[in-house]
Amino acid sequence: IFFTSGGTEGDNWVIKGVAFEKARYGKHIIVSAIEHPAVKESALWLMQQGFEVDFAPVDKKGFVDVEKLATLIRSDTTLISVMAVNNEIGSAQPIAAISELLADKPTISFHVDAVQAIAKIPTEDYLTERVDFATFSSHKFHGLRGVGFVYIKSGKKISPLLNGGGQESDKRSTTENLAGIAATAKALRMSMENLEVFITRTAKMKEIILEELAKYPDVTIFSGIEEFAPHILTFGIKGVRGEVVVHAFEEYDIYISTTSACSSKAGKPAGTLIAMGVDKSLAQTAVRISLDVDNDMSQIEQFLTTFKLIYEKTRKVR
């Protein structure tokens, strides 16, 4: 375990660090088409440095197509990166199936961005024996912002992103955020002890919201139940931009987000939905609810009552 400043640094470090460490063996990497910008942008940056990158496609529900991924693998492929849980719609990626695919390909490093998965779905679903690198961020399980960690399988090599005083076994130089690391450990312990309760409670709340939203003819639901994380629910009201819906809920002190809080400021349609083949105008309607164990049924009722009001108010623009 090596401590970082969060998921973005972790993803940058693994994508760039592994690519450069193994460059003499090959300069081809594969990332899925629905990765977080920290992975996607790192891969695009590598292309400017002379590496070749392929983006593995996803199906209409937002899952990596493992058969199509297999066809992209070449003799000079050194790294494959696929997230555990998609941050925009919550699809839990087929990490076990990809692990099987790579079982007889030991020269390819397998990286999993597990930021949205840790303490949200069972660990064995995404941290298989075949995973070589995994990235995590503290704030996703109620730790402090600005702290994260990378899991590196014993014996796997990676070039450092930060050079200097030699901290973290010379892999990440800079003075460690000791207080943040201690808080991360405590928060993770508490969250993992609560994992089963979290899954049960959030899944039930998500199911109720989905059931109700499905009754509205102009609502598009992008998140499912099977093979999806229990806490992420993404939907849209046809003809109404996501940010309009977000602000409408704010008026009632209910806080949701456009699909990815990290990139919502850019005003871009959700990358995941576009990769799924969703029309751009429909993708721009998407909003995301992130549930937690602290939410309760009275809040779900409040949300649904408020949604009905907003749905009626936006009828004119649909």
Q: Which of 44, 73, 183, 262 is catalytic?
A: 262
Q: Which residues contact 126 (CB under 8 A, 6 or more apart)?
A: 84, 85, 92, 93, 95, 112, 114, 117, 134
Residue 144 catalytic? no
Displacement of CA 130 from its chain's centroid (Å): 19
DSSP states of 33-57? TT--HHHHHHHHHHHHTT-EEEEE-
- CA–CA distance from 27 to each of 40, 46, 108 (Å)? 16, 9, 11
- Asked if residues 164 and 174 have their Cβ atoms less than 8 Å apart, the reply is yes
The answer to whether 183 touches 166, Cβ cutoff 8 Å, is no
User: Which structure tokens are listed for 237?
Assistant: 């009201």
Q: Which residues are catalytic?
A: 262
